[in-house]
Amino acid sequence: MSQKAANEGIKDRSNYLRGTIVEGLKDPITGALPEDDTQLTKFHGFYQQDDRDLRKERKDQKLEPLYSFMLRARVPGGVATPKQWLAIDKIADEHTVYGSLRLTTRQTFQYHGILKSDVKPLIQGINAVMLDSLAACGDVNRNVLCNTNPVESELHADAYDWAVKISEHLLPQTKAYYEIWLDGEVVAGNQDEQEPVYGKHYLPRKFKTAVAIPPHNDVDVFANDLGFIAIAENGKLIGFNVTVGGGMGMTHGDVTTYPQLAKTLGFISPEETLKVAEAVVTTQRDWGNRESRKHARLKYTVDRVGLDALKQEVEKRSGVIFGKERDYTFTQNSDRYGWVKGIDSRWHLTLYIENGRLVDTPKRQLKTGLREIAKVHQGDFRMTATQNIIIANVPESEKDKIAAMAREYGLWREDLTPIRQNAMACVAFPTCALAMAESERYLPSLIDKIESIFAANGLAQQPVVTRMTGCPNGCARPYLAEIGFVGKGPGKYNFYLGGSHLGSRLNQLYRENIGEQEILAALEPLVADFAKQKQRDEAFGDFLVRTGVVKAVIDGREFHG
Ligand code: SRM
Ligand code: SF4
């Protein structure tokens, strides 16, 4: 059976995402759920996984794989209160095998290693503090990103409100989530149950939305299916430039798949936001490719039908006519570290969390540190789209206390170079079923060596965006990085160069399927040339394009050359 038939059939038969999840949860014989249900649980926010480090050992012992689940929460804009943080932290200890938390590249957190019997209490636990995992994964609109730093407070508050409204507006309406996890009234089989936006087949594929506030593109808006770029006048939100058709995932060796940058439809006023968001989603619902999941994202729909045709359809469905794109400038797609003062005299402390993993080690007690801060913090926490966290809205009077705590627990470090602070890796081994090579567990040691190369050339403080993923799906958005590594096999990576700091240019394959020695040998002369020929304030990726080492790619259809 084709992948299409399989997934579309599962959705069709699922009775609005119920399947046999309830029965599967009760089955004591296995730690797993029935295969079809594992596709449905994604819409409820969780994936079945197994510990890949232990696969062989378990097989040798004739045991089934060590099944557990990964759950991702829905937190639009990544904002959590201290009370919520304390609950999030406690649940990791009580209901997961690893006892860690993982900040993701979409401003939320994941739990890994949840045993089957723990899934329901865990979901109830996050629900008790007004969080949920509905539509955090699956063929629906997922967690909506919003520029993280509330420095430009008024504008930020407006843009954040829209991110929350978009998230709520595009949530599936099925009561299955409440029924199964929160012991809500059983409405399964009710003929009136409907999905007004999605229909019973939901979308052909996942769908991602982001709200960006120039000059910061810290949400990498062009990597999203749907983007809203806030346009302000005198500090007030007057509307959005709307973008469509961004995405990262591709398949090694298949040039019909590629990462793509979103393209601009035009300008709309704030009141038109939900109508346009819904029209883009329903157009993709009806026009997206349901034959091949590899080609089912909106980016392929846009490239197949053309931007103009898609725009006309969205205008028809929404009743909104797009205005001319408004001017704006992006200056960076990474986080701003350390303290930043907001216009309302509140302070925001951005902390670098290596690859988003919050765990206690003998050297640093990152998880404990955030818990202790949550106990005294009067503002909120903001998870960033580059796996970091902001202790936000700190009053002047509390600043020294928070800073001292962040230092005490190793959350705030002075010894980090901009190279490390701009690096991120996806999860990969041991939990990700799709990983071909290490990522989170390997990048830190590779960064040590990359730092040495830059330092040897007098460029220790050069901010370079480096991103690694364990497979070509692109979860750490590696194709937007100045230096990108994408796993091909154990210890082997495709090496990409030439992305920009603005998130507005794709990189290009420079060397294929190489290991660490070859990576470092290939990088060294390029950094040496950069040190000699660099123009003032020139970024490494821009230099590589200017000097012809790689060409500038702004249309994914040219990504493979
Ligand atoms: Fe992702 C699948 C982790 C952001 C593109 N992603 C997966 C799965 C669930 C593997 C699976 O299907 O079995 C990974 C779970 C690993 C684990 O053990 O936790 C996974 N993706 C992640 C996270 C946790 C990476 C991280 O290190 O932070 C990110 C969670 C985001 C969130 O909170 O919602 C994550 N994934 C992304 C992004 C980045 C983004 O959205 O800005 C992308 C590229 C953008 C895009 O969607 O095009 C991304 N993930 C994928 C794809 C490829 C989709 C495609 O169009 O081809 C897959 C595989 C799939 O869907 O078939 C995937
Ligand atoms: Fe897994 Fe690949 Fe995503 Fe990394 S990029 S988390 S290896 S799916």
Task: Break the chain into its structural domains and give their ranges.
Answer: 419-558
Give the chain's end-to-end CA distance (angstroms, integer).
33
pLDDT recorded at residue 152: 66
Q: What is the pTM of this model?
A: 0.97
For residues 347-361, one letter each, b for 16 or more C-beta atoms within 10 angstroms of the residue's C-beta and e for the rest, the string is bbbbbbbbbbbbebe
Mutate to test the pocket of ligand 1, among 222, 475, 480, 485 (most ligand atoms within 8 A of CB): 475
Instruction: State both tokens at 99.
Output: 């006892």
pLDDT score at 155: 87
Find out whether the beta carbon of 470 lies less than 6 Å from any atom of ligand 2: yes
Q: Which tens digit of pLDDT belongs to each residue from 12-24? A: 999 999 999 999 9
Contact of 141 with 202, CB cutoff 8 Å: no
- Which amino acid is residue 188, in one-letter code? A
**Which pLDDT belongs to residue 191?**
57
The size of the chain, in residues, is 561
Is 146 annotated as catalytic? no
Q: What is the pLDDT of residue 189?
A: 55
Task: Please work out whether the CB of residue 468 comes within 6 Å of at least one atom of ligand 2.
Answer: no
- Domain spanning 419-558, CATH class: alpha beta
Q: Give the residue ranges of the chain where pLDDT is below 50.
A: 1
Whole-number pLDDT of residue 1: 44
Q: Whose CA is nearest to atom 49 of ligand 1?
A: 475
* Dist. CA 312–CA 326, nearest whole Å: 19
**Measured distance CA(355)–CA(361) in Å, rounded:** 15
Neighbours of 504 (CB within 10 A): 17
Helix (H) or strand (E) holding 495: strand 492-497
| CB 484 near ligand 2, within 6 Å | no
Cβ atoms of residues 287 and 305 within 8 Å: yes
323 C-beta neighbours (distance < 10 Å), count: 13
pLDDT in tens, 231-279: 999 989 999 999 999 999 999 999 999 999 999 999 999 999 999 999 9
CA nearest to 92, candidates 109, 80, 67: 109
Catalytic residue among 285, 293, 467, 475: 475
